Amino acid sequence: MKASKGRFAGSLHPEALAFSSSLAVDRRLFEEDIDGSLAHVAMLARQSVISAAEAGKIRKALEDIRQEIRRGRLPALQRPGFTGRFAGDDIHMAIEARLIEKVGKAGGRLHTARSRNDQIALDERLYIRTAGGMLIERIRDLQRALLAQAVRNRSVIMPGYTHLQHAQPLLLAHHLLAHVAMLDRDRGRAMDCLRRSSRSPLGAGALAGTSFPIDRKFVARRLGFPGIVENSIDAVSDRDALVEFVAACAVTMMHLSRLGEELVLWSSHEWGFVEIGDAFATGSSIMPQKKNPDIAELVRGKTGRVYGDLVALLTVLKGLPLAYNRDMQEDKEPLFDAADTTLASLRVTSLLVSSLEFHPDRFEEELRSDFSTATDFADYLVRKGLPFRSAHAAVGGLVRRCVESGRSFGDLSLKDLKKCSPLFTSDAVELLKPRRGIALKRSSGSTSPREVALALRRWEKRLAGPAAR
């Protein structure tokens, strides 16, 4: 009998194959695809859907194929379409084509009770589990680098900013710990994403399930998932895990960009607060004196790229009816790019932060020439019985007179303070020193030395434990 060609009489047009093939992108999922297939074939044999002998041949061949791909020797990956209509379509069919080539008809039994629809949904969740774990580790590495700088510079004071204007004196460690706290929320988002994505969609088939007596929960356990995606339509059409992961990457990049922006500003001649290590700065092709904060700028720039990945993914999904649509093939490039970009940015930022040398004298020079202790003077008057609004107005007037006369708070005497308010006494002169105002802070989470010391100890303890904490 003549072999059937299936639904189609001929091969896909070469240009149509080239346009529709995702193999160049999803070949990255070969490890996940083989892991999923190994779990699937173990379940098929356990449920007597295929024989133990066939399962054994398939398992061995799949492991051989894994090694072939690792060595770059899988023909289907080198010559898309080398056998069969769909062999060059994607990583699933490339591996299956090679499997059949190695073990014959038995290889064709692997796809029993599954579809590429639930297969790719599984592969992506397995990928996110690995990439998400790396994201959590890289975030923690950067937190540790920032914490080390905070400990090293725990006594350094700096002007805090709002609206990019001098606001109130701070401990530099307090400022750095703000970045640590922001990153901790990023770590939490990554962990939340992993918890929700940790369900196996395999066994949903194309969308309606299967008539074979499969055990989806066995496959889930085999793959280390605590459960399955219950609804078979949802299992193949859902890409929330990808959206959440890329969104987590985008928020992380936003935080890296804010840190990068501060380092660009602080390392400039005008600010001079910090020196970036030579290994993380570049020169100019024409200006010999230049030392540019290129790595911080690149991290800041790559943030827009990851934002684009998120928008691209959301746009692909926004108009799709249930269940699977080929548009969803376009979900992998933004997923991989967001993961690659964010992981690389976290790594280089950790190294960059470790290279920083802060300049305490420049911080203090700025504090001596500003009015950032004004709130401390207003609070002093409030403690003397003046309503805050009246105290605010009195100190505001003092600032105005200083500006008009070209003086700063560092130039004032007790006599000058008394002209502002008779409530000022000799102890108020101490408030002219920025450290005094910092020391007077009492609220939890403030910049007081006591609170910052407590925070440093908390973070040292927390970041010493497992990344998933």
Distance (Å, rounded) from C-alpha 457 to C-alpha 105?
63
H or E segment to which residue 171 belongs? strand 165-171
**What's the mean pLDDT in 263-287?**
94
Residue 399 pLDDT greater than 80, yes or no? yes
pLDDT of residue 84: 47
Cα–Cα nearest to 441, from 192, 60, 160, 52: 160
- Yes or no: is domain 14-112 CATH 3.40.50.300? no
Average the pLDDT over each of 219-233, 257-271, 420-434 and give the range with the smallest value: 420-434
Three-class DSSP category at 2 = coil
**What's the mean pLDDT in 222-226?**
98
Q: Which residue stretches of 10-115 are H helix?
A: 14-20, 23-26, 30-46, 52-70, 75-78, 91-103
Note whether 333 and 339 are within 8 A (CB).
Answer: no
**Given the residues 4, 163, 269, 405, the one annotated as active site:** 163
Structure tokens at 197: 């994505």
Distance (Å, rounded) from C-alpha 28 to C-alpha 337?
12
Residue 263 pLDDT greater than 80, yes or no? yes
pLDDT of residue 275: 97
pLDDT in tens, 5-31: 577 777 778 788 788 888 889 999 999
- Eight-class DSSP state of 28: G
Q: Thinking of the domain 117-213+224-359, which architecture would CATH place it in?
A: Up-down Bundle (1.20)
CATH 1.10.275.10-classified regions of the chain: 14-112
Q: Assign 81 a pLDDT band (cuts: 50, 70, 90).
A: very low
Distance (Å, rounded) from C-alpha 410 to C-alpha 431?
10
pLDDT of residue 317: 97
**Given the residues 11, 155, 268, 284, the one annotated as active site:** 284
pLDDT of residue 83: 44
CATH 1.10.40.30-classified regions of the chain: 365-463
User: Which residue matches tokens 């002007």?
Assistant: 159
Active site residue 421: no
- Yes or no: is domain 365-463 CATH 1.10.40.30? yes
Query: Taking all residues of the chain, what is their mean pLDDT, rounded to a whole number?
Result: 93
Active site residue 284: yes
Distance (Å, rounded) from C-alpha 423 to C-alpha 411?
20
Number of CB atoms found within 10 A of residue 27's CB:
17
pLDDT of residue 69: 94
pLDDT of residue 19: 86
Q: What percent of the chain has pLDDT over 70?
A: 95
Q: What are phi and psi of 158, to 5 degrees?
A: -150, 160
* pTM to 2 decimal places: 0.93
